[in-house]
Amino acid sequence: MLTLEDQRWLAESACRAARAAGDLIRRSRPGPVERKAGGQSEASQVVTETDRRSQEIILEALEGSVARFSLGVLSEELEDDGGRLERDFFWSIDPLDGTLPYAESRPGYAVSIALVSRAGVPQIGVLMDPVEDTLYCALRGGGVTRNGEPWSRPPGRSDVGLSVFADRSLVALPGYAAVVAALDGASMEMGGNRARLLLGSGAVMNACQVLESPAACYFKFPREEDGGGALWDFAASACLFAEAGAVATNIHGGPLDLNRADGTWMNHEGVLYASSRSLAARVTRIYRAWCAANDA
């Protein structure tokens, strides 16, 4: 059992690790992009030397906490050793989420570190945006800080319309045009114009941008093929969303399965991030209509 003092110490450790990794990424050049085994999307199959170096920095920074509290470790560029299923808590690490935008020298990448319980509940969430030098930290029951200061998300507004943050795979979705039309309808109901689609960032920065927007969402529909992001893509941001009073669920509105025993991919239930519950419910309805139209 972790005391509140323990959790604060662990959160500070994760913040230092994320800062150090962010500094490395900011100073580094992308270099050659290599291929690795992954899901169906290109984004899950690319890796650079910076990914590995960032992971080394984080693991070294967290080594003391792992020994002190007997924590498991799940990190994108390491083989899953199953320790997360045996220990009371584990670190869930994405040393460089958004390798594609990083390799293309454009914003959209970040560092993600979360402490997750064996039950799959994130206790700590730390996200580092190296481009803007912005560090978010959330402690379960303790709120959110942004660069060390208490932070609250922007108030919702009914006149700004809807911003939709997504990766490039959305465009390849069967029935894409119908989904966009439904999102346009939601945006106009809010009093805005057509929905603003902002594509190309990694999962972590998509989540951050939803959190920073008055009316926004990010979603990935379930699919049979491996992919849809992995546990480490969503664990930290889910903690931030919970503490900020926003929505981070699966596509059906249930809790994200952040320590699934049968793998690390999230394609089985999809993901849904939204700035409000009413908007999340609207996206779930759009998904159900899409299923009916595509026999999914």
Contact 69, 6 (CB under 8 A): yes
Task: From residue 294, give the alpha-carbon distance in Å to each of 56, 96, 290.
Answer: 44, 34, 6
Q: What are phi and psi of 76, to 5 degrees?
A: -55, -40
- Taking the CA atoms of the chain, what radius of gyration do you get in angstroms? 18
Give the type of residue at 238.
Answer: A
Q: Any bridge partners for residue 196, and if so which?
A: 163
CA–CA distance, 223 with 192 (Å, rounded to integer): 31
Least confident of 2-11, 39-48, 190-199, 280-289: 39-48
Sheet holding 144-146, edge to edge: 72-75, 89-97, 110-117, 122-129, 134-139, 144-146, 149-150
- Three-state secondary structure call for residue 262: coil
* pLDDT value of position 251: 97
CATH value of 4-150 in 2.40.30.10, 3.30.540.10, 3.40.50.300, 3.40.47.10: 3.30.540.10
Alpha helices in the chain (DSSP H): 4-27, 49-69, 99-103, 176-189, 203-211, 231-244, 277-294
Rounded distance, CA 114 to CA 137, Å?
A: 10
Whether residue 158 is predicted with pLDDT greater than 70 in this model: the reply is no
- The C-alpha angle 41, 222, 245, rounded to 5 degrees, equals 105
Render pLDDT for 50-65 as a digit per residue (tens, 0 to 9): 999 999 999 999 999 9
Which whole number is the average pLDDT over 238-247?
97
Residue 212 pLDDT exceeds 80: yes
Residue 37: predicted pLDDT: 66
Domain over 163-294 is classified CATH 3.30.930.10: no
The pLDDT score that the predictor gives to residue 77 is 93
Instruction: Tell me the pLDDT tens digit for each residue of 62-104.
Output: 999 999 999 999 999 999 999 999 999 999 999 999 999 999 9
Query: What mean pLDDT do residues 2-21 have?
Result: 97
Whether pLDDT at 36 is above 80: no
How much is the pLDDT for 191? 85
Angle made by CA atoms 206, 209, 212, in degrees to the nearest 5 = 155
For the segment 246-266, the average pLDDT, to the nearest whole number, is: 96
| The pair of three-digit structure tokens given for residue 255, joined into one six-digit string | 């809790």
Give dist(CA 231, CA 142) in Å, integer: 22
What token pair was written down for 247? 């929505």
What local confidence, expressed as pLDDT, does residue 195 receive?
A: 95
Indicate where the chain has its CATH 3.30.540.10 domain(s). 4-150
Residues of the chain with CATH 3.40.190.80: 163-294
